[in-house]
Chains A and B, each alone.
Chain A
């Protein structure tokens, strides 16, 4: 069975600084996708970034980037130049190539950006 582990329940960062959220996963599949979702206090779940396992290049979306280490089954999210609007719960999620849509979430990391 696939699992996703986020070992940091809560983190805080000063505005304009950089923060890294950790995520590890376990799977026997070779083809899969990984995601980071953001859920601000207003509750809407937003897709931040996605990574295909077959791609060696780390995904980047503006201030958000990932460090994907396939052999180590690690998928961390780096947020650069943190902004107050980045305050949210961040969920790491996995979906396997044989899945019919069953997105497996980690327990989440609550990030607070302080002014």
Chain B
């Protein structure tokens, strides 16, 4: 059973919509991550939050806006997405992002379809 939860499981949105993906972890971890995964491909890192501060932004378009309200929650706000943004969005967490704490635990993902 996962201790990283993601909602919703599925999301269909139009290109003009605004929606949010939510992620929550209950392990006391201090680092949280957003990944994008296309079919039959490995996950691609989008953002890293460490101690609730954004530490890595992998040149993600501004139509994706992350937010970390507290150490247990991570949101991804979506606006004006393109059809090519359709993918599985994975959230992960780890004890920290520092040396020795790299073991990342993944949530089940949100399957996003942009129409």
Contact = CB atoms under 8 A, between A and B. Distances in A.
B21 interface: no
Given A43-B108, A50-B103, A101 B42 contact: no
Majority secondary structure of chain A interface residues (helix, strand, loop or mixed): loop
Of A97, A100, A108, the most chain B CB neighbours within 10 A belong to A100
Contact of B45 (A33, A89, A102, A110): A102
Interface of A: 31, 33, 35, 37, 42-47, 50, 89, 91, 95, 97, 99-103, 105-108, 110
User: Considering the complex of A and B, which 9 residue pairs feature the smallest CB-CB distances, nearest first?
Assistant: A105-B42, A101-B97, A45-B106, A101-B48, A95-B102, A44-B108, A100-B97, A33-B102, A100-B55
A101 B31 contact: yes
B99 interface: yes
